[in-house]
Structure 1
Amino acid sequence: MVDRHRWDGRWSPWIGALFGLFGGIYTALTGDYLTWRVYGDPVLPMDALFDIHPLLGIAVFILIGFAAGWIIRLLDRLKP
């Protein structure tokens, strides 16, 4: 029998927010994106957010990571 209440399912929003924090700090300090795109513009205009204020860009990274964690948690609960 599979345990449905695993630690990674329960903590996935917070883990996503932590990775978002690390990604936001990396982007704020280096001005570089962690992307696999070879050419073209990034999907989101994150440089504009960091130009307004670095904490705004970091907060958006954290919110995106937190939302991705909630989506992962929701999909994990919907599995049969």
Structure 2
Amino acid sequence: MDNKTINILKTSRGQIDAVIRMAEEGRYCVDILNQILATQALLKKANLKILEDHIRGCVKNSFENGDSNSKIDEVIEIIDTYLK
């Protein structure tokens, strides 16, 4: 995993910590909701980057080695879960 993706995940962790603090402090609900939405957007970005890296790496290699069916099924399952 590249540093950019790891940094996105670390930033998300920081935002989750902020959400917890906000909730513990009894902050305004809408502010907490907006922070959660920002965190979800970052996690979505990280998720897509990891999926892209997986397709460009693992899936590509499986095609080159003639073992593509299991990786295709794996990606389809991930996309199916993602779309729900």
- TM-score over 0.5 (shorter chain): no
Larger radius of gyration: 2
User: Which protein has greater RCO, CA pairs closer than 8 Å, 6+ apart?
Assistant: 1
Using the size of structure 2 for normalisation, the TM-score is 0.37
